[in-house]
Amino acid sequence: MKHLQTTLPGLISAIQSADSGSFSAAANALGLTPAAVSKNVAALEAHLKLRLFNRTTRRLALTEEGRTFIAQARIGMQALEDANALAAQGAQPEGLVRVNSAVGFGRRYVLPLLPAFFKAYPQVRVELNLNDNQVDLVQGGFDVGIRGGSQPPEGMVARKICNIPAVLAATPRYLKAHGIPQTPSDLAQHQLIRVKFLNGRMPPWPFKGSSKAQGISAVDAPAQLLLSDPEVVLDAALLHIGIARLGRHHASEALARGDLVEVLPKLHVGGDASMALFYPHRAGLAPRVRVLVDFLLERFKEMPPLRM
C-alpha cells in the first residue's frame, strides 16, 4: 500500500499528460501547477528507472516504453475507478467501455445493437474503435475485443461468436454477361474483386484439387478491383463489377434475396475462420464491461447470419 501511495500521484499525472499532450494541459485538468505535474512524472520515472516521455520546449511525446506502461497503467486506474463506482453505486454499471472490433463486423453487427443497449444501461458509455489491423487489446487498453480467431491475449478469455466461412459470389447480371466459371482456372478470364490489406497481404483463393492427392490449390489471379476493407467487397460485388470472395455472414442476405449467386460452390474452400469476443477474466469483471459482454453475446445468438 505504501508503494501505491508513493506512485499514485505520478501515475495520475503521467496518464493525464499522455492524454492532454503537455504538462500544462494536464495541470489544468488536474487542478495542479505544471511544475507539480512535471515533478510527479519525474518522480515516477525515477521510481521505475524508465523514461516515459521525451520532452522538448515545444512538445511532449511518449517513448515506446512509455506507451506500453501507460496502456497498462490505464487498466489499473480503471480498476480503481470501477472499485470506487461499485462501492458508491451498489455495483450498478456505469462508465466507459472501450471496444475494438473488425470494421465490417463492428459496423454491421455491433453498432446496430447499441441503441437498445444504451436504453437498457444509460449510464454506460461505449468507445467503439473499428479497424482491421492486428491490435494488442491489452496494450491498447481495450475492455472488449471482437476479432477473428479464438486465441485470447494473456489475461483475457474468448467467447466464440460464429464461424465465418468465405464464399465466392457474383451477381446474376455479371454472370449472364461473362459466363459462369466451371473450374478455378477459369477465374483468370474473369473480373475479380479481391482484398488487399493495408499491410500489403493479399490472400489467395483456396480450392479443392480434382483428387485427394492434389489437396488444396490456390488461385492468385490478378484482380480488376483491389479493396482494403473486406465489407466493401460486398458493395462492389453488388455493383456487378466481378466475382468476389467474402464472408458468408456478410453475403448471406444478398444470397438469400438472389442478388448474389455462389460461384464454384463445390470446389471453393470456405475455410474455418471464426469470430470471437475477448474480455478480461470474469473474476472481478467490472459491471460496465460485464453487462455489455452479456448483452452482445445474447443478441448475436439472435442474428441469423451469425448462426451458420
Kindly report the pTM of this predicted structure. Answer: 0.60
How confident is the model at residue 203, as a pLDDT? 84
State the residue range of the domain holding 54.
2-76
Nearest 5°: CA angle at 199, between 194 and 204?
Answer: 35
- Number of separate domains in the chain: 3
pLDDT tens per residue, the chain (308 residues)? 445 555 788 888 888 888 888 888 888 888 888 888 889 899 888 888 888 888 876 778 888 888 888 887 877 776 666 666 555 555 578 899 999 998 888 988 999 999 999 999 999 999 999 987 777 787 788 899 998 876 766 667 888 888 888 999 999 999 999 999 999 999 999 999 998 877 777 888 999 875 444 567 888 888 999 998 777 899 999 999 999 999 888 898 899 999 999 999 999 998 878 888 988 765 557 889 999 999 999 999 888 877 65
Question: Is residue 83 one of the residues assigned to a domain?
Answer: no
Residue type, 188: A
One domain for residues 289 and 151: yes
Q: Residue 35 sits in a domain of what CATH number?
A: 1.10.10.10
Strands 192-195 vs 243-247: parallel, antiparallel or unpaired: parallel
One domain for residues 151 and 284: yes
